[in-house]
A = this chain, B = another copy of it.
């Protein structure tokens, strides 16, 4: 019995989402990055990234594994988790904590503290930057603490879904 995230259709992430780059651009960017950093963009890593960037929505690790299996790759859990960890280290994938799911970065190649907007009805997710979100981390200096990583997720309902509900 599966939980959520199964038959949802995908399109633009929210009406005003800035796709930023298409599939090909994303692949090219990650290729260049790996080349520059002397990292191996192996078939497995490429495939995992392709699966995530394909329709650019959050996928659970086991959904990614299924997709890997369909494409002839091994599909035991560590395969996915290892590659996801690697891609996250280099900023090409983020984890959505509130969904236990992973999503391709909308804005790689510049260091950033991503924030996510998550519709709890259609489960679309948009990655937004500080300015767009209205959240500022700039002054997030807690006394006696060195912040290394921030998790910011805003859950709610997108206009499309709230309109649909009132029809």
Whether a CB of chain B sits under 8 angstroms from the CB of A128 is yes
* Inter-chain contacts of A140 with B (CB < 8 A): 133-135, 154
A15 with B136, Cβ < 8 A, contacts A150-B152, A150-B154 known: no
* Inter-chain contacts of A153 with B (CB < 8 A): 97, 150-151
Whether a CB of chain B sits under 8 angstroms from the CB of A158 is yes
Number of copies: 2
* Inter-chain contacts of A145 with B (CB < 8 A): 14, 117, 119, 154, 156-159
- A151 & B148 in contact (Cβ 8 Å cutoff): no
Cβ-defined partner of A137 (8 Å) among B134, B141, B150:
B134
Whether a CB of chain B sits under 8 angstroms from the CB of A155 is yes
Cβ-defined partner of A147 (8 Å) among B141, B147, B156:
B156
Report the bound CA distance from A164 to B163 in whole Å. 54
Cβ-defined partner of A142 (8 Å) among B136, B154, B160:
B154
Whether a CB of chain B sits under 8 angstroms from the CB of A71 is no
Tell me which of A136, A139, A144 has the highest count of chain B C-beta atoms within 10 A of its own C-beta. Answer: A144
Q: How far is the CB of A127 from chain B (nearest CB, A)?
A: 12
Cβ-defined partner of A16 (8 Å) among B135, B136, B144:
B144
- A155 & B162 in contact (Cβ 8 Å cutoff): no
Whether a CB of chain B sits under 8 angstroms from the CB of A132 is yes
Whether a CB of chain B sits under 8 angstroms from the CB of A120 is yes
Cβ-defined partner of A151 (8 Å) among B134, B136, B151, B162:
B151
A-B contact pairs, 10 of them (CB 8 A): A120-B148, A128-B142, A134-B140, A134-B142, A135-B140, A144-B158, A144-B159, A147-B156, A150-B152, A150-B154
